Structure formats: C-alpha cells, structure tokens
Amino acid sequence: MFPELGLIFLIISTVTAVLLSFIPLYASYTKNHYLFSYVKTLTALMTVTISASILCLLISFLLDDFSVAYVANHSNTQLATLYKVAAVWGSHEGSMLFWVVSIAIWGCLIVFSSRYQAPLFIGRMIAILAFVIAGFNLFMLFTSNPFARLLPNFPIEGRDLNPILQDIGLIFHPPMLFLGYVGLTVTFAAAIAALLGGKFTQQHASYLRPWVLMAWVFLTGGNAFGSWWAYNELGWGGWWFWDPVENASFIPWLVATALLHSVVLSHQRSSFKIATLLLCLLAFSLSLLGTFLVRSGIVQSVHAFASDPTRGMSILFLLGVFVCGALTLFALKANLIKSKSDFALISRDTVMLLGNIVLVVAAISVLLGTFYPLLFELLNLGTLSVGAPYFNSIFVPLTFVAVLLMGAAPLIKWQQQSLNRLYPLAGLFIAASLIGVLVAMQTRDGFNPWVWLGATSASWIFFTLGYLVFSLRQQGIAVISQKAAMIIAHFGVAITIIGATAVSNFETQELLRMGPGQGKVVAGYTFVYEDTVDVDAKSYTAIQANIRVTDSSDNFVGYITPQRQTFKTNAMETTQAGIIRNLVRDLYVSSGQQLSETEYLVRISHKPLACWIWIGGLMMMLGGLIAAMSGLYNLRRQQVAATKPLTTAQFAVKEPA
C-alpha cells in the first residue's frame, strides 16, 4: 500500500509542479494578482505531496518491503535501522527523490518566510524551481521509479546495502552534498528570475546572498565529509584521490566560491552583476554535469551509482534543456542588466575580480582533467590516464595565487588604493615566504617547492588576518565582529592548507608482513602485533588484528584494531582501518590479505596534522553559516512588512515584469 501511495503522491507533486512552473510566469506577465495568490497554495501542495512520497519510501524500508525493487536492492532484515533510514538516499532512485524533496522544501521556506518587496521576482523564482522539480519528477516516473514493484515474484530477503556505504559517512555526506546542489538550484532560479525581469538590483543581490552562502556551506560540508569518509572507510589512507566523482562535486564548489564573492560585490558595490548571474547559471549547470557523471555509468568509481545508459541519456537531456535554455536567456537579456564598472585598478573590487577569475580557471582545469580522458575513450581514440600529477601541478599553483588575493583583499580599500599603503602587504608576504622556506627545508630531500607553496600560503593568511584585526582594533569590537565570519572562514582555509601540506609531504608509511609477536618502529612509534581475533557482528564477521602502540619513550599510546570484514548477506569483503588520532598526528593501520597461516599484509602510516584538513573545513562551514544567518537577519530587518495583500495596481508597480 505504501509504495502505491508514494507513487500517487509523486504523480500529484509532478502535476502541481507543472502548474506552478507556468502560473507565476503568466501572472507576472499579465500583472494578475489573483493568479499570483495561488502560488503559496500550489507550493504547499507540491511540498507536502513530494514529502509524503519520500516518507512512504522510508516506511517501505522500515517495514522491509522487498516487493519494492529499490528496497530489495539496498536493504536487508539484518541492516541496522539507522542505515535503513540512510539507505533512502543511499543509491540512485532514492537520492534523486531526496534531492527533489529538498528543492521543494527550500522553495516552500522562501515563499512562506519571505516578506520581500519584489513579489514578481519571488514568483518567477518559484516557477523556475517548480520547473526543475517537474523535470526531475518526470525523470523518476519514467526511468528511475523508486516505487517500482517486483510482483508477483519478490525475494524474501534483500540484497543489503553496499557494505562500503554502511558507515556514518552515509548519514552526513550525501545529504549535505544534495543540499548544496539544492542551494545552487535556488541561485539558478534567482538568476533566471532576474533575467526574465530584465534587472538585477542590489536588493536582489541582498536577497540572494544568504542562499548562496547556505549552498556554499553545504557544498563545503559535503566535500569535507566525503573526504573524511574515504579516509576512514576505504583503507588506503588517502583523503583525496582526484577521482572523477570527487571532482564532480568539487568543481561546483569552486564556482560557488567565486559566486559567493561576486554576489558580495553586487550587494555592496552594485558591480559585477552580470558576472554574478553567469556564475549562478554555471554553478547549477556544473552540479547537473556532475550528476550526469555519477549516474550515467561512464565512470567506474566507489562513489558512482551503477546505472543504465537510459538514465544517463535522460539526465543529459535535462542538462541540455536547463543549461541551453538558461544560457540562451542570458545571451538575450544580459545587456539589460545595469552594473557599475567604474572601479579603480588598485582596489578591492579588482582583487576580488581576479580571485574569482582564478577560481573559475581552477574549476575549468579540473573539469578538463576529469572529462578529457572520458571523451578520449568515448571517441575510440584509446585510453588516457590523467591522475594526481596533472591536477596537483595545475591546481596547487592556482590555489596559491587565489590565497594571495584572498589574504590581500580585506586589507585593500574599495576605492583607489595608494601604492604606499601596499608596502605592509609586501612585508607580510616576505615574512610568509621566509617561513615557507624554513618549513620546505625540513623535508627529506631538502627544499620542496610544494611545501613552500603550502607553508607560505598558510602563513600569508595568518599574517594578513592578524594585520586586519590589528588595524580594526581602534574601531572597536563591533567592527571586528562584523568581519568575524570572513575571518573564521579564511582561518579555516589556512588550517586545511596546513593539514593537506603536512600529510601529503611528511607522511611516513610502511607496508609490512606482520603476525603475532612481530613489531616495527615507524616514525618513532613501536607497533607490536599481539594477536588476531575473530569478530562476529550482526551483519558481518571480521578478522581483527590487535596492535599495541608505544612511543619513543616506551609509553603506552593505545591499541589499534584494523579489521578485514566479510558481510554475511553477500560475502563482500571490506577493510576497516584502525586509527589513533590527536591534533598532532594520526596513527593509521589497515590490514590486508592473509599471507600465511598467521601473517597478514599490514600498512602502517604516520600522518602528521591529518585532522587539520577537516577541522579547517568545519571552520569554513562555521564562517559561512555565521555570514548566512547574519545576512538573513539583516534582510529581515530591512524588508518592508506587507501587512495586507497587494492590489492588482500595487502589484504592477512593485516591479516591472
């Protein structure tokens, strides 16, 4: 019963979304306030029905209804309840439904919480969101139905959730990434709404800025938690592999970072409005491109959803409709957008513009490295491998330039900056470079230019932030607190750079043959393999190594217990690393294949400052969240309260169609 109800709710939400995608646009064009009054009702109906649909899917998982193909393929009676909930978005059909539900809820919040002064803008924005929802709903109904039945012959037991996904990372990583994509969908809708109206004002930018920030926060969290998940779960100890599916979420983040700074310029300076709108379109387009990459089956990755070509072609069709339509509208309407362009050559505007250009170039470089091998193979030209050396050689120098501009921007005035006032920045850079040289000389092979880039970048950020706080101290704590969000986020960037530089260049690793009674000293720590035990958990059995760790002074540090797990439902084997963490280093041990009756292949790693990578990510998220909440609060204070419905005449003069 629940699957049928879910499908009915999905169909109702699709019909409602189709209506909602046309009615506000028609009302906007005809200045018909009566039609516009239906927007809230239709938005609520669409949100309630699509939310009821995913609730029916969740109930199907909790009831172990294996007559539903999606449940049968991704659940099991032995699966923990928490993972049954997470399995709702754990694969293709459910994740698409979760994405659409999130868009609907976000749109509903906009409609019911907004007291914005431009109802036409909001109406057009909701219409575009509804159009996107309708497109993906039709995609699910015709090619990826999450409620498809296996009647009359259905299994009495499910195939179980992929063991790699049975981790706390599944609870945080996909939802945050999808919410980031939802935020980019909202910014896309806002950009289309502005282009349809023929103007993009500072008020529009003020309204858009908190939503851009929230999208950026969720994308940051999605990428950070995905990196942390891979580090903990896959057993090879890497935190970033430049995997095509990793890149698919990282590329939109880079463009969203540029968009974040561009919308600030549009809000505060009434400049770069066209660039802001274009970045809104590009960020959403790249998120759809990443969706196509993940779900088309053209790449093999532990992150990718196995899917048939029909789904890939359907997503490619949606990508073409949305992107081509948006870029065509931009080409036709961009000339109507009035933007201030009289900024000085040496000014904060210029620095931020250059920073955005660098970020977009970095995104393009990652995009080319990701898709060029795929295109090369699809054209039957052979196989081509583009790996970490390419990405590092291109991306790291671009990041260094972006960081230099990021540190300098808050210290440069909006207007013409005197060259004499740039001397302190030169001094700060020299000091940061010297620290970079000292750190780079500590590597095993002498001076390492990659370490110099990382250490100089982090030192530069610390010095410029310190100088900024010192310069603002006379203006009082209130002025400093206004910049707290930016300071926290930029500080987080420096922390992540330190962690990434340290673990990439100062890691010590040994691949050993170990058994009971054998030991090895790695990076000053003694690892003694004491014994091997069998573990019998609810969903898997495991061979666990108990390894005792002591430091150079023979003080007990702890036990590390890596496992080789075999899941009962499908006999799939996975590696569960053992990690002892603190702020200074991670001691990381993974257990490999059995080499003899008592000996196993063991990988031992000493990873300095590894946790700083994700601490920095959390700080970036915190800074973005503070800025978003502050923006929403200020926006609420500035909005003119609409205490009674607008008449048709008032509606018409509020904003031109």
Alpha-carbon distance of 620 to 568, in angstroms, equals 40
Collapsed DSSP state (helix, strand, coil) of residue 112: helix
Read off the pLDDT of each residue in 294-304 and give the average, rounded to a whole number.
Answer: 60
What is the share, in percent, of the chain residues with pLDDT greater than 90? 60
What is the share, in percent, of the chain residues with pLDDT greater than 70? 92
387 or 435: which carries more pLDDT confidence? 435
560 or 572: which carries more pLDDT confidence? 560
Alpha-carbon distance of 305 to 94, in angstroms, equals 11
Confidence label for 296 from pLDDT (cuts 50, 70 and 90)? low
Edge to edge, the sheet with strand 600-608 lists: 508-514, 600-608, 585-594, 578-581
Collapsed DSSP state (helix, strand, coil) of residue 339: coil
Rg (alpha carbons) of the chain, rounded to whole number: 27
Backbone φ, ψ for residue 154 (5° rounding): -125, 150
pLDDT at 531: 94
pLDDT at 655: 47
Q: What is the pTM of this model?
A: 0.92
Alpha-carbon distance of 272 to 259, in angstroms, equals 10
| Residue 150 · residue 68 · CB < 8 Å | yes
Alpha-carbon distance of 538 to 565, in angstroms, equals 12
Token reading at 176? 């945050």
Read off the pLDDT of each residue in 589-605 and give the average, rounded to a whole number.
Answer: 93
Burial class (CB in 10 A: 0-12, 13-18, 19+), 646: middle
Read off the pLDDT of each residue in 453-462 and give the average, rounded to a whole number.
Answer: 97
pLDDT at 560: 96
Give the tens place of pLDDT for each residue, 397-447: 999 999 999 999 999 887 766 777 788 899 999 999 999 999 999 888 889
Confidence label for 306 from pLDDT (cuts 50, 70 and 90)? very low
Alpha-carbon distance of 251 to 249, in angstroms, equals 6
Alpha-carbon distance of 464 to 473, in angstroms, equals 14
Whether 206 has a pLDDT exceeding 70, the answer reads yes
Give the tens place of pLDDT for each residue, 538-547: 888 999 999 9
pLDDT at 114: 65
533 or 482: which carries more pLDDT confidence? 533
Alpha-carbon distance of 576 to 592, in angstroms, equals 10
> For the chain, what is the mean pLDDT?
88
Whether 507 has a pLDDT exceeding 60, the answer reads yes
| Residue 523 · residue 550 · CB < 8 Å | no
pLDDT at 414: 79
Q: What is the number of alpha carbons within 13 Å of residue 550 lying toward its C-beta?
A: 11
Q: What is the number of alpha carbons within 13 Å of residue 573 lying toward its C-beta?
A: 8
Whether 572 has a pLDDT exceeding 90, the answer reads no
pLDDT at 238: 86
Give the tens place of pLDDT for each residue, 103-150: 999 999 888 876 555 678 888 999 999 999 999 999 999 988 999 999
Whether 643 has a pLDDT exceeding 90, the answer reads no
Q: Which fold has domain 1-161?
A: Four Helix Bundle (Hemerythrin (Met), subunit A) (1.20.120)
Identity of residue 643: T
Alpha-carbon distance of 232 to 173, in angstroms, equals 13
Which of 196-200, 352-356, 378-382, 571-575 holds the top average pLDDT? Answer: 352-356
Read off the pLDDT of each residue in 306-317 and give the average, rounded to a whole number.
Answer: 72
List the domain boundaries for the chain. 1-161, 175-417, 508-608
Give the tens place of pLDDT for each residue, 493-503: 999 999 999 99
Confidence label for 34 from pLDDT (cuts 50, 70 and 90)? confident
524 or 116: which carries more pLDDT confidence? 524
Mind giving me the DSSP string for 127-141?
A: HHHHHHHHHHHHHHH
pLDDT at 571: 85
pLDDT at 479: 66
Give the tens place of pLDDT for each residue, 341-375: 667 778 888 999 999 999 999 999 999 998 888 77
Judging by DSSP bridges, how do beta strands 540-550 and 556-560 pair with one another? antiparallel
Read off the pLDDT of each residue in 216-226 and give the average, rounded to a whole number.
Answer: 95
Least reliable range by pLDDT among 286-295, 518-527, 544-553: 286-295
Q: Quick one: angle between helices 348-378 and 244-269, nearest 10?
A: 150
